[in-house]
Amino acid sequence: MAGKQIECISLTKQYNSKNNTVTAVDDINLGIGNNELVLLKGRSGAGKSTLLNLMCGLIKPTRGKVMLDNDCISEMSDDSLSILLTEKTGIIFQSFNLLPTYTVYENIEIALVPKGADRNLIKDNIYTMLGQFNLKEKAGLMPSELSAGQQQKVAIIRTLIKQPVIIFADEPTGSVDDETATEIMEHLLYLKNEKQVTLVIATHGNIPERIADQVFVIENGRLKV
């Protein structure tokens, strides 16, 4: 798998409870090239989200490793991982994960805090992005005052504002209506085609396979051949 931007090597994740061990991801090997759009498909509970979390370094594997541009992120220190998450990767969650006590504007702004960018520049960028998603007037609202689709758009803006080169998205259209889903996918495809962003998207099947460069089907934590 030489030349791959992302490589999963014998990747395994197990969760231990009192009486049993659950294997969420079981010995997965895969490679993703630069500027590819990859779909991780599977039913709920198949292990897609766990695999995605492992790939972006949010959780540690039980065995195996994840290489990102030849850096082993599963063995990375938290500090190095913070830099990676700030500079290179972005994550879109299925459940939006917006901070409930912060406004729309602040929720986006916090993603830029680690970068320490100029405040005026930040403000301009945020309002430009909000404009692109038709949310400019919602900047001062709290997440609870937005619809699910609007919340997902805010979560996406929060990721895109950092200008990542790799985006990991967990069911980005799973909780939104069809119209919003189309709008979100258009944005993601724009990023792939115009900004050469690599996209790794976990989905249970509502995203057409034809747009993907690779599709990995996951069943019971294993890659289905």
Q: Give residues in contact with another protein (CB under 8 A).
A: 53, 56, 58-60, 78-79, 82-87, 91, 93, 97, 99, 101-102, 106, 110-111, 113-115, 158, 162
**At closest approach, how far in Å is the CB of 178 from another protein?**
27
**At closest approach, how far in Å is the CB of 60 from another protein?**
6
Nearer to another protein, 78 or 179 (CB): 78
Alpha helices in the chain (DSSP H): 48-55, 78-87, 104-109, 119-132, 148-160, 178-195
Nearer to another protein, 111 or 201 (CB): 111
**At closest approach, how far in Å is the CB of 193 from another protein?**
25
Nearer to another protein, 42 or 61 (CB): 61
Give the tokens for residue 202. Answer: 């976990």
CA distances from 208 to 58, 167, 181 (A): 27, 18, 12
**At closest approach, how far in Å is the CB of 209 from another protein?**
27
Nearer to another protein, 105 or 216 (CB): 105
Q: Name the DSSP class of 137.
A: G
CA dihedral of residues 111, 107, 73, 84 (deg, nearest 10): -10
How far is Cα 107 from Cα 100, in angstroms, rounded to an integer?
Answer: 9
At residue 217, the 3 state secondary structure works out as: strand
Nearer to another protein, 62 or 214 (CB): 62
How far is Cα 215 from Cα 185, in angstroms, rounded to an integer?
Answer: 16
How far is Cα 123 from Cα 120, in angstroms, rounded to an integer?
Answer: 5
**At closest approach, how far in Å is the CB of 89 from another protein?**
9
Give the tokens for residue 105. Answer: 């504007």
Q: Do 93 and 155 contact (CB within 8 A), yes or no?
A: yes
Nearer to another protein, 107 or 203 (CB): 107
Angle at 35 between CA 34 and CA 39, to 5 degrees: 100
**At closest approach, how far in Å is the CB of 102 from another protein?**
7
